[in-house]
Homo-oligomer: A and B are copies of this chain.
Amino acid sequence: MGSSRTVRKLEVVSPVPADIDIANSIEPFHISEIAQELSIRPTHYDLYGKYKAKVLLSVLDELQGSGDGYYVVVGGITPTPLGEGKSTTTVGLCQALGAFLDKKVVTCLRQPSQGPTFGIKGGAAGGGYSQVIPMDEFNLHLTGDIHAITAANNLLAAAIDARIFHEATQSDKALFNRLCPPNKEGKRSFSDIMFRRLKKLGIDKTNPGALSPEEVRKFARLDIDPDSITWRRVMDVNDRFLRKITVGQGPEEKGMLRETGFDISVASEIMAVLALTTSLSDMRERLGKMVIGNSKAGEPITADDLGVGGALTVLMKDAIHPTLMQTLEGTPVLVHAGPFANIAHGNSSVVADMIAMKLVGPGGFVVTEAGFGADIGTEKFMNIKCRYSRLTPQCAVIVATVRALKMHGGGPEVAAGKPLDHAYLTENVSLVEAGCVNLARHISNTKAYGVNVVVAINMFSSDTDAELNAVKKAALAAGAFDAVICTHHAHGGKGAVNLGIAVQKACENMTQPLRFLYPLDISIKEKIEAIARSYGASGVEYSQQAEKQIEMYGWQGFSNLPICMAKTQYSFSDNTSAKGAPSGFILPVRDVRASIGAGFIYPLVGTMSTMPGLPTRPCFFDIDLDTSTGKVIGLS
């Protein structure tokens, strides 16, 4: 690819300009050129404007016989609240592999939530000279996948409350007659989706008229326990006033009030389904078996019981195709899915990675990012994502910064919006050395999966040679395959060439199969405890509620699912102030929930916010459209 048409030579400026200014200074290639470089035929992609295309799953049928490329996951050490540049490193590494090392490469990234773009956080397309462009399209609607999730999630929510309402106001017979109305000839029939519920109930009759009154009752009355409903509504907006609400206060709802709330859209289980599904038919099944709560008798009630699994699939049928974009240097990017990294598994989609592996082929590279620190992101990548995808990574990159390691070594608190303490701006090798216990544990944990670990030391201008060398030395001592200093933020792919070379060697030297941290057929508690041990915990303490839930999921037949820990990313433990590599602590599990359609159980360690708020002065004060050029201004 080094000599190909779609590689763009960057002219870098110092000091590095604002992200949006760099992004706006470059005219992207038409996305069909990027697709052509990857040999994707026009029948296998749909354009969405000039700079985005959906790569259709049909491309997998054509490439079925092709071999896979190397598979690289990018994780990080336990970060500061400022972030250590994991996305930027992912993009920079790919720019190096594609634009400088002549490799076929695809970057697989998560689609960011639109809400925070207008709140505090700003965008998520990488930074400096390592970015995905057009940056505004990446951060805003993209190709509508999150909007589709919002629509599907909320159709299911509306179906739940409407069903409870209609069941409350009608007899078994009236309900049944409305569910199976007579056609013009007076004949009643079941719709296809109803056979799923009939099968679940063990009723094998095909004629509605043949059901006994007891069967009519079982079929028509879901008898949902309102207190058991875990399905919430979602919105891709930071709207704190929707965190807890009461619905049903209109006079026509006859006093059937219920307390519930909204999460931000990316927290929807449907996002996790999208990220973990492997095909259209697999998605249909996952969406249909999502559990929204229980019947009063304790049976799980699914989307298919409500008759809505098919409609959800129809709403999601375009969202299943990943979106092709490009980096600043013209290398291809697949953007797809962006599940939460605590209550969900925080990784981009399985189908994007599957497609990318075939597109790059043997000798090529797929680089995918895992959310949060490696204790969470990489762990879930291995034990959840790879378990469902059956893909095997050869190399795991761990992104480290001198700043974060100083914090782990005992440096003062680092907080967003506050000036950095001078400890972080002047040389302090011993602080760095002390902090490397954090890096070391991430390395050994990651190595245990049977991959080679390459540490990417994301260099800041205030870092000194002595500090950087201390990190390198500690990384190698902890068993890293290599440790490389990178300057892709300031220099683009050129600044990550050595990282690219190290990653290539790491991949070429790995032939082991993937070793999971736990098998699926042990108990939920044993699986939780295996993960807790990887954090350094000496044990796990379960609340009464957690015990109750674990017992219920066992009874409902869900105990053989993988585990998705909802834990802070700011420490190996549940205590965000426990930096470095804490050990010997007891990990508290305060509740246990499940995403049955997505396919995991998620224990809650601490309280997770699933709906951000707007500050007094949100980002939107700076965002506007230059109506003469049509360009977005003020996006960060």
> Which residues of A146-201 are within 8 A (CB) of B?
147-148, 150-151, 154-155, 157-159, 161-162, 165-166, 170, 175, 178-179, 181, 191-194
Q: Choose from B157, B165, B237, B240 the contact partner of A250 (Cβ within 8 Å).
A: B240
Copies of this chain held together in the complex: 2
A630, B240: Cα distance in complex, Å: 38
A259, B248: Cα distance in complex, Å: 12
Interface flag for A307 (CB, 8 Å): yes
A235, B261: Cα distance in complex, Å: 14
A618, B614: Cα distance in complex, Å: 36
A47-55, A204-212, A332-340, A585-593 - the one binding chain B: A47-55
A311-319, A512-520, A529-537 - the one binding chain B: A311-319
Given A144-B144, A314-B136, A625-B314; A245-B244 close (CB under 8 Å) = no
Instruction: Give the Cβ gap from A282 to chain B, nearest Cβ, in Å.
Output: 9
Interface flag for A613 (CB, 8 Å): yes
Interface flag for A354 (CB, 8 Å): no
Given A239-B161, A307-B621; A141-B147 close (CB under 8 Å) = yes
A150, B252: Cα distance in complex, Å: 24
Number of A interface residues in the complex (CB < 8 A): 89
Say whether B243 contacts A246, CB under 8 Å: no
Interface flag for A623 (CB, 8 Å): yes
Interface flag for A236 (CB, 8 Å): yes
Say whether A141 contacts B620, CB under 8 Å: no
Chain B residues whose CB sits within 8 angstroms of the CB of A247 once the complex forms: 241-242, 245
A628, B161: Cα distance in complex, Å: 32
Chain B residues whose CB sits within 8 angstroms of the CB of A615 once the complex forms: 162, 166, 178
A313, B136: Cα distance in complex, Å: 13
> Which residues of A615-636 are within 8 A (CB) of B?
615-618, 620-625, 627-628, 630, 632, 634-635
Chain B residues whose CB sits within 8 angstroms of the CB of A311 once the complex forms: 118, 620, 623-624
Q: Choose from B178, B194, B310 the contact partner of A625 (Cβ within 8 Å).
A: B310
Given contacts A151-B237, A243-B252, A314-B624, 10 further A-B contacts (CB under 8 A): A141-B147, A141-B148, A159-B620, A162-B239, A162-B241, A192-B624, A279-B627, A308-B621, A309-B624, A317-B630
A-B contact pairs, 16 of them (CB 8 A): A46-B48, A46-B50, A48-B48, A136-B314, A141-B315, A157-B239, A159-B618, A162-B239, A166-B615, A170-B616, A241-B248, A241-B250, A243-B250, A307-B620, A310-B625, A317-B625
